[in-house]
Structure 1
């Protein structure tokens, strides 16, 4: 698979998964705002790692939302298969992306050091 094709597939899957999470998944456990930050589809299209950032107040709520997303991965995979024309529909694996929290922590430390 050419490098540009991989990037296009990643972006298309990212767009569809984000749309599905926000508009289609009706799980009552999804209480926080969820943002899809990145998607990495393997070269053989068998797996797609979906990195999500969950904005919530507590760590327990983040874990509960991630568990709900993992439970909805079959539904999301089926819908991605319907909307994105690929020869194989990748298995969806959700990973928690802590980069935004880490960036906010570093920014806070920089602000403290300025004072």
Structure 2
């Protein structure tokens, strides 16, 4: 079993090799819309998971990018075997990266929080937080 540091180094190398192979070996214009975001390798160096995003407007183009990766899996693995100096070439698994969607959702939540803060600020008006009377309910005696 390899150490985790070696697996990490191999994963970063696989990320670069797959990205370059997409650009040079795959003869399809849709490959330009695919970005390799990360790669992970098991500690035994037998399996690699490659994370990707497809920069496309609609779901049909994203599905086409996914199909492109799946149909070229063998060519990409062959390129890995050619460029890596390890005994066994790891198998490739492609997983769509969900980080861009999560980031967009987080940005939406932050935008809503800023709007709510602005609304509360406008409701506050000219209230003076140092005025003790401002925090008393009507009719409350001291």
Q: Same fold (TM over 0.5)?
A: yes
Aligned residues: 114
Alpha-carbon separation, structure 2, partners of 1:4 and 1:53: 26
2:103 paired with 1:97: no
CA-CA distance at 1:14 after TM superposition: 0.8
What per-residue deviation string (whole Å, max 9, x for no partner) do you get for residues 17-66 of structure 1?
Answer: 111112221135x2662111111112222211101011111111111110
Indicate the RMSD between aligned Cα atoms, in angstroms: 1.5
Alpha-carbon separation, structure 2, partners of 1:33 and 1:109: 27
Q: What's 1:12 paired with?
A: 13
Higher relative contact order (CA 8 A, sep 6+): 1
Q: Within 5 Å, give how 1:43-82 maps onto structure 2.
A: 43-82=43-82
Alpha-carbon separation, structure 2, partners of 1:32 and 1:9: 24
Structure holding more strand per residue? 1
What per-residue deviation string (whole Å, max 9, x for no partner) do you get for residues 50-84 of structure 1?
Answer: 01011111111111110111110000000110011
Structure with larger Rg: 2
